């Protein structure tokens, strides 16, 4: 069966520090991968999606970036965090149907 992992589960980082959040999927190959963010009191917003290794599409221009170095690995990064980057980050994968499967999420607090 398929499993999606995200880490860390929670993270507290100072403003200006770098960020790396990792998402990996098991049990499937060539998945579509997605990063979403939920800011406090707001709905989830698509940040990036990837349909294959090295293929990243950005939905929202900001100081975040994403990379897909391997088929089932999706990484969200920042060189310098802003206070406004605080939120709940959710990774998801899709198998080419309309269903998406979600990871446990990472709660990021930028102080």
Stretch that binds other proteins, among 11-19, 21-29, 40-48, 70-78 (CB under 8 A): 40-48
Helix H or strand E encompassing 91: strand 87-94
In the block, which residue shows the tokens 């990036």? 48
User: Which 17-36 residues touch other proteins, going by CB under 8 A?
Assistant: 32, 34, 36
Q: Total binding residues for other proteins by CB under 8 A? A: 25
Stretch that binds other proteins, among 11-19, 20-28, 67-75, 93-101 (CB under 8 A): 93-101
- Exactly one of 57, 63, 70, 84 binds other proteins (CB under 8 A); that residue is 57
| Cα gap 106→109, rounded to integer Å | 10
Examine residue 102 and tell whether it contacts other proteins (CB under 8 A): yes
Q: 28 Cβ partners below 8 Å, 6+ apart?
A: 2, 72, 93, 95
């Amino acid at each position: 069966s398929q499993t999606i992992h995200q880490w860390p589960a929670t993270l507290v980082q100072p403003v200006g520090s770098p960020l790396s959040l990792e998402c990996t999927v098991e049990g499937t190959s060539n998945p579509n991968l997605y990063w979403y963010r939920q800011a406090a009191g707001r709905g989830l917003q698509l940040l990036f999606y990837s349909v294959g290794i090295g293929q990243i599409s950005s939905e929202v221009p900001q100081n975040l970036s994403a990379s897909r170095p391997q088929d089932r690995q999706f990484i969200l990064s920042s060189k310098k965090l802003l206070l406004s980057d605080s939120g709940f980050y959710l990774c998801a994968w899709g198998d080419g149907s309309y269903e998406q499967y979600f990871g446990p999420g990472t709660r990021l607090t930028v102080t």
